[in-house]
Structures are given as structure tokens and as C-alpha cells.
Amino acid sequence: MSGTFNINKHDALLITDIQVDFLPGGALPVTEGDKIVPVINKYVSKFKAADAHIIASRDWHPPNHISFKDKGGPWPPHCIRDTQGSEFSSALKLPNPTLIISKATEQNREAYSAFDGTNLANELNKLDIKRLFVSGLATDYCVVNTALDALKLGFKVVILMDATLGIDVQQGDVDRAVKTMFDHGALTAKMEDFP
């Protein structure tokens, strides 16, 4: 809980990886991942009304990505670019314009963070964004890595706790990720913290 947040044009909502393969029925589903989509849509409306920016990141893997089990990685093939599994959820209401950031696009390089190997930092600086509100999947992988990179780059970071969900491969992974983000200076918020 970090008090009340007033959104302005120097803020951005980052929606992390709300893709078919990460939702129930997908290749690498986060349990109940679909439950946060309506909450994210409410945040989208709030940020749009405040003239703030909306950004959506996505895994955009080549077919033989290093993270896949048959290449020695930990995951089943997922979010292969230009497949149905890589598409954003049809329930996600992305406005126009939304800045789309594709990550983990190189065959031999894993990238959990939306900043890793992308132009996200440049885009945020161009838009004069000072504060990033992070939502999406999964708390203990792409969300935590994105948040830590944003903090390192000097952005203020707020984790939207009611709009993120994790995998918890090892029990406690999500709690540890949240603590790590908090320890590095991220704040946390929920819908009631926005007037």
C-alpha cells in the first residue's frame, strides 16, 4: 500500500504478456490468468481518461527459441511469433494507440524483461514517461524482471497487485518476486488507490 495515485501524461500502464499461450488452455498457462484481464481493462480506461500512455509487451519467439524444452530450456514451446498462441487475449481491450513491445525475439537469447533487447527505454524517454505502472503475467518472471530493469533505468515503478499473477514454479516464487521489487524501490497499488 503506497497511498493514492493521480495519473498524468508522464505515466504509462505496462501490460505484460496477456497472450493466448499464457492463459488457461494455452501452451504455458498461468492458473486463472484470465481473471486479471477485466481488471487490466479497468486500468486501461483510467489511464486513457488521464491522457496517460498504454504499452503492451509480448513474447514473440522464433520457432526454435532457446527457452523451449527441445532446445534445453525450461518451457514448452509458447508464444511463437505470428501464431494464435502469440496473440493478445481477445478479452484484452487495447486502445488505439497502444505501444507494442516484442521481446525474446532472438533464437539464442532469453529475455524476460520488456527492456531486454527492445527499444522500450528509448520509447519511454521520447514520451517523457517518469512512472511505470506494471500489470500482467507472470509476476515471478516477466513482471519482476521488467520492474527491476525499469528501476535500474531510473523510472518510478508501481506494481498493480490486483492486475498481476504469477506461476509459482517453486512455492513462494511470487512472494519472493514481490519482495524483491519492493526492496529495490517499487511501490504497490490496487484499484482503490486511484481516486
Here the cell at position 27 is 501452451
- At position 158, the amino acid (one-letter code) is V
Does the annotation count 17 as an active-site position?
yes
**Of residues 21, 34, 59, 103, which has the active-site annotation?**
103
**Of residues 17, 21, 34, 149, which has the active-site annotation?**
17
**Of residues 11, 21, 79, 142, which has the active-site annotation?**
142
Does the annotation count 9 as an active-site position?
no
Buried residues in 135-168 as b, exposed as e (16+ CB within 10 A) = bbbbbbbbbbbbbbbbbeeebbbbbbebbbbbbb
* 194 exposure class (CB count in 10 Å sphere: 0-12, 13-18, 19+): middle
Does the annotation count 142 as an active-site position?
yes
C-alpha to C-alpha distance for 106 and 80, rounded to whole angstroms = 11
CB-based contacts of 40: which residues, under 8 Å, 6+ apart?
15, 18, 92, 135, 136, 163
Q: For residue 189, which of 158, 167, 164 has the smallest C-alpha distance?
A: 158
* Catalytic annotation, residues: 17, 103, 142
